[in-house]
Structure 1
Amino acid sequence: MTKGSRVDSVPDRPNEAKYRGVILGAALGDALGWPHENRARNASGAPRGALVFQSWVKRSGGRFQPHEEMIPAGTYSDDTQLVIAVARSRLQQRRWWDYFSRVELPLWTIYEKGGGGATIRAAKSWLKGVAPWRGPATDVEKYFNAGGNGAAMRIAPHVLVSVDQPFDVAAKSIVVDSVITHGHPQGIVGALSYGYALWIALRNNSTLEYGQLIRDVLGNRSYWSNFPDVSDVWPDWYQIASEHDFESNWSLAVDAQTRQLEIGLNGLDAGALSVEQETLEAIGCFDKKILGAGTVAASASIYLASRYAAGPMEGVATGAFSKGADTDTLASMTGALAGAISGLDWLGSLVRSVQDYEFLSNLSADLQRVLPEDRPFDPVDSRYIGEFYRYLDGNGAVPIPPGLPKKAHAADMVRSKSDNLRARSWVLDGPGDQTLVIKKLDRPRTQNRQREDQDAFEFDESQQSQRTAEFAGVGLFAANIERSTAFYRDLLRLPVVRETPKLIQLGTHLVLRQSDGRVVAGTGTIVYIQVLDIRACVREFDRWKLDVPEIEQNGSRLSFLCRDPDGRTVEVFQR
């Protein structure tokens, strides 16, 4: 494809499956890859390579605020959180950049999961009401050195909203958004080239040939390599950027992006399976100095989406399990591209286990018909954040921005690792809403209170690596799953951590299932046990002279059913 050919034609608007595929593909890749990101500091020793979601424990806080967070299976990270925040901004305001920078991004600071340093710094600057390019000199310098993938990871909604218009419309939105957090061309060029790949894939109504996507991006460099005029939105931005070698750095970033894409294309032309990791390495995915760059994430995701256009899940899995890479972002961006290419079917049943599946599906549908409400809004500032925490503590009320969950309840999702640190957490959720987990770390008022909090959320690190099996939960059949959910969630205050059309998971160990009539509600309890080696477990049945169960396989998940001495059903599984 070359400039002036079909790239300029007006296509049919992509079908709903592509909109859902982009948003859900991004979330699935994010949730699959996040536990394996080096920065995530996964303390659970969870296995790599299985196409299932797994719960895990995230270590955070460094020396001064050491704590651990429980991450339920299927949870997405900052990548999807920011995609949602951008999408919500597009739906709320025609001047969406004001809403994103003054409401969504500042509020994100209290519920972010795994956010990158540049994005968090910028968000905190906006929280103070200061654009990051207008702050103290040292902060401004950091901002113009920020070329990470935090901009590229979130720009898909801009492409979805303007996919039936020339790319320069989406390109301007991408840059207006990118500079809210990132001032270095490496981050902005990466966002533009990735956005162009999304735009091309969404507009394509025929089967993409092997390698076609990456060839189209390279062949139409002029579409994504120019910096659009954003002076009507950010009047002083370019002038300030010019004082930080922006023009020369822009040329270097475009050249780097081109070179990395060419490496990907050469890897495709080589064809051998053995060159895949070599290609990702040559692009820079495992180089600690540049692996987080926007250009690297764009090139690698375009390469994987091109290579696996006929089998998208394999491409997403490759990104998610590429040890040493920025796995959540790589898998998320690859997943969004796969959705733009192939729609929804490739996601299979696994996607229904992604956090907030219903909410994400509805959000993608809303992006097909954006009619901003343009209601007046108040910026989120430090005072608002203080009021929000007081609201979570049960003191007073606070207005919650549109599109965010309105119900809040305390939850034991965080554990302090220091006697001098108190960790508390809350869940905001609701039927069909996004799920937010908010934590607060502070000094305990009394030592006794701290010890009480510690006992509420137990981990036994010393035994984690020695266990060959662990209790995974109890499943209860309910006559009316909505009524039962209300009992455990609203009356007993268990947090809903996962919701699918067939089941509700509350807390870490309770699963409610709707009875289909074959099982009498109130009976039919199922105990779930996860083992490391299911075949070794089956051999034990033979050694104990018990009926040997038959192992069943569903995808990569192995399981069997048996009964305990009291007749309760036990499902044993390995994943």
Structure 2
Amino acid sequence: MVSIPPLIERFQGALLCGATGDALGWPTEFLLPERSRQFPFQLPHQIFVNWKKRVGGRWWGYEDEILPGEYSDDTQLTLAVARCINEEGRFEPERFAYKELPLWLQYERGGGRTVKTAARKLLAKRADWLNNFYRQGDLDYRQAGANGAAMRNLPIALVNVHDKQALIRDSFYNAIITHGHPRAILGTILFGLAVHCALTLTAPPPPPHFIECILDGLRQVPKVIQSDERLQRWINTWNRGLLNKELNFAQLYRSTLQEAVQYLKQIPAFLSREPKDYYTLVGALEPATKSSGIATVCVAIYLFLRYLQHPQQGLIVAVNTFGSDTDTIALFLGSLLGAFHGLQAIPPALLDQVQDRHFLLTIARRLHAVAAASFTPPPPTEEASDRRAFYFSILSWEMAFHEMFHQEYQDGNTLIHPALGLGAIQSQEEQPLRRDGYVARLIRVQFKCGQTCVFHSRVKGHESPSESLAGEVARALQEREE
């Protein structure tokens, strides 16, 4: 008989077990089956390890040492989204787009090209969170269908445990800040709905019942879109950029929804088969589709239902299925298992080692308190953006950022970050680069709030650090005044 913990413990379990999955799956993210013997830790991988990640190419690259239990950009952005949920339980897309996301570029670890490009483009003259239709090289906003939005959506799912339509609306908002393809948007909503269903279970569900709970939520998406003026405006903008023979948003959404529904409905038939069979069905082992917003979430739902009674085994399968997006799938799975089992989903030996464990628990308690007070929230309104204020806060931080990377701070010195507050420098590292005159500096900061960040930048002499936002923010402020 499974003991169902109180809701607050399920909030804590979702956040902490999600971060555990992220930290456990990150080292195996780029491990291919044919190269598994070359990896510097024992397989099957089931404990936190110390490892090094190569960042950048031949002339610009350096090594980032990842300590046991440290999480990736998946959890970093989850925490950033959590800070953008106000006391009424509403997600504030302006705060995320104009403050959290640009600042994240300076401490991101493992961030994908799509999200980093979107973050930079939000500082451009004509871009805003409802109009970030970027094109850069092979990246196209309308074709961005990966899981970079879904992976950060857990706080929105938690805080809206009592309001499924608000969950759908805010998940949609969250996704379109960085991703424009329905595959990313539906994946974000799908993960949110799966967490919602896991949170509200009172007993282990028959798989078809759990899938029907998710499908019931998906049926409400059109109503949410039709009732939201901002989403209607975004869809109109999306459609205006089409070429003659391309599908409009509604057509592409319908075909993508059919894909998601098909994958979900086939889960029961695969529960007695090898997990790789389901991975193969949804394309989660193909390089071109392994990070699909829909495929990765569906795999996590499949693993959740298959290993609901054996959560640790499920997590080990997720992080050892090489060739898949191991850290993000494990984050999705850990979140779902934690939302059902609470902190009991994962052994204490792992939970106790997760980076910023106490901070994650604090965030979970806050989201639970907000959710408990938000049974009947007021209808959403389009408030005036504080974009200028967010930009000025970034500019004020840039002075400390420059001084930090020009070695004017010592270990133990304190600084104030616009999003994270008061912090103290723990350690500083410098690595020479092959590009003439440049070094990479990595500066670890422990913030009083409980989060730890490694800020990084390439620097040459007294030039501006490569990750400085000062020039872009100053231009954005000037352009908005013209």
Asked if these proteins are the same fold (TM beyond 0.5), I'd say: yes
Q: CA separation in 1, counterparts of 2:41 and 2:231?
A: 45
CA contact (8 A) 1:59 1:68 kept: yes
Identity of aligned residues (%): 27
AA in 2 matched with 1:278: D
Provide the C-alpha distance between the structure 2 equivalents of 1:208 and 1:415, rounded to a whole number of angstroms.
52
SS of the aligned residue for 2:417 comes to coil
Equivalence for 2:418: 401
Deviation of residue 85 (structure 1)? 0.4
Higher mean C-alpha displacement, 183-192 vs 380-389? 380-389
- Is 2:135 the counterpart of 1:138? yes
Q: For residues 429-475 of structure 1, what are the alpha-carbon distances to aligned partners after superposition, in whole Å with 9 as ceiling and x for unaligned?
A: 045610000011133579xxxxxxxxxxxxxxxxxxxxxxxxxxxxx
Q: Secondary structure at the match of 2:335?
A: helix
In the alignment of these two chains, the number of paired residues is 428
Compute the TM-score of the two structures, normalised by the length of structure 1.
Answer: 0.68
Could you tell me how far 1:122 is from its partner in structure 2?
0.9
SS of alignment partner, residue 431 of structure 2: strand
Please list, as runs of the form range in 1=range in 2, the aligned pairs for 1:483-522 lying within 5 A after superposition: none
In structure 2, relative to structure 1, the CA distance for the partners of 1:236 and 1:110 (3 Å cut) is same
Change over 3 Å in CA distance of 1:229–1:369 after alignment to 2: farther
Aligned partner letter, 2:108: E
For the residue of structure 2 that corresponds to 1:113, the secondary structure is coil
Structure 1 residue aligned with 2:56 = 61
Letter in 2 for 1:191: T
Whole-Å separation in 1 of the counterparts to 2:427 and 2:399: 16
Structure 1 unaligned segments of length 5 or more: list them. Answer: 1-11, 447-575
What is the alpha-carbon distance in structure 2 between the residues aligned to residue 333 and residue 208 of structure 1? Answer: 18
Residue 119 (1) aligns with residue 115 (2): yes
Residue number in structure 2 paired with 1:31: 23
| Secondary structure of the structure 2 residue equivalent to 1:429 | strand
- SS of 1:68's equivalent in the other structure is strand
Judged with a 3 Å threshold, the aligned counterparts in structure 2 of structure 1 residues 174 and 136 are, in CA distance, closer, same or farther, namely closer
1:419–1:185 CA distance, 2 compared to 1 (3 A): closer
CA drift of 1:314 comes to 1.4
The residue that corresponds to 2:278 in the other structure is 279
Where do residues 210-221 of structure 1 align in structure 2 (5 Å cutoff)?
212-218=209-215, 221=218
Q: Residue 390 of structure 2: which of 373, 379, 394 is its match?
A: 379
Task: Identify the match of residue 418 of structure 1 among 416, 429, 434.
Answer: 434
Q: 1:490: which partner in 2?
A: none
Distance 1:394 1:65 in 2: 20
Instruction: Using the TM superposition, give the Cα deviation of residue 13 of structure 1 relative to its aligned residue in structure 2, in angstroms.
Output: 11
SS in structure 1 of the partner of residue 322 of structure 2: coil
Aligned partner of 1:182: which letter?
Answer: H
The equivalent of 1:518 in structure 2 is: none
Counterpart of 2:259?
A: 256
* Partner residue in 2 for 1:547: none
Q: Which letter maps to 1:443?
A: K
Residue 299 of structure 1 corresponds to 298
For residue 47 of structure 2, what is the aligned residue in structure 1? 52
Match runs of 1:165-184 below 5 Å: 165=163, 167-184=164-181
Q: Select the structure of larger CA radius of gyration.
A: 1
CA–CA distance in structure 1, aligned partners of residues 70 and 48 of structure 2: 8
Distance 1:158 1:121 in 2: 23
- Which amino acid is 1:262 matched to? K
SS in 2 for 1:23: helix
When structure 1 is superposed on structure 2, of 276-285 and 201-210 the one drifting more is 201-210
- The whole-number CA distance in structure 1 between the counterparts of 2:11 and 2:284 is 28
Shift of 1:92: 6.9
- Conserved in 1, the CA contact under 8 Å of 2:315 and 2:330? yes
Query: For residue 341 of structure 2, what is the aligned residue in structure 1?
Result: 342
Letter in 2 for 1:364: A
Matched, 1:204 2:201: yes
What CA RMSD, in Å, does the superposition of the two structures yield over aligned residues? 3.2
Higher helix share: 2
Segments of structure 2 that go 5 or more residues without pairing to the other structure are 243-247, 375-382, 464-482
Amino acid at match of 2:441: R
User: Is the aligned partner of 1:433 residue 2:444?
Assistant: no
* 1:254/1:337 CA distance change after superposition, 3 Å: same
Q: What SS class does the counterpart of residue 64 from structure 2 fall into?
A: strand
Q: Distance in 1 between matches of 2:31 and 2:421?
A: 27
Cα deviation for residue 96 of structure 1 reads 1.5
Question: One-letter code of the match for 1:415?
Answer: Q
Cα distance in 1, alignment partners of residues 235 and 264 from structure 2: 27
SS at structure 2 position matched to 1:49: coil
Contact 1:29–1:317 (8 Å) recurs in 2: no
Residue 266 of structure 1 deviates from its aligned partner by 1.7
How far the C-alpha of 1:175 sits from its partner, in A, is: 0.3
Report if aligned partners of 1:405, 1:433 keep a CA contact under 8 Å in 2. no
Shift of 1:219: 6.1
Pairing of 1:552-567 with structure 2 (within 5 A): none
SS of the residue 2:54 aligns to: strand
Which of 69, 72, 80 does residue 67 from structure 2 map onto?
72
Distance 1:51 1:179 in 2: 35
Q: Which deviations, in whole Å up to 9, do the C-alpha atoms of 1:20-54 show, x marking residues without a partner?
A: 01100110000000001118999962333232100
Say yes or no: does 1:159 pair with 2:157: yes
Aligned to 1:16: 8
Letter in 2 for 1:313: Q
* SS at 2:458 equivalent: strand
CA contact (8 A) 1:66 1:417 kept: yes
Aligned AA (1:338): L
> Residue 401 of structure 2 aligns to which amino acid in structure 1?
Y
Structure ranking higher on relative contact order (CA contacts 8 Å, 6+ apart): 2
Cα offset for 1:326?
Answer: 0.5
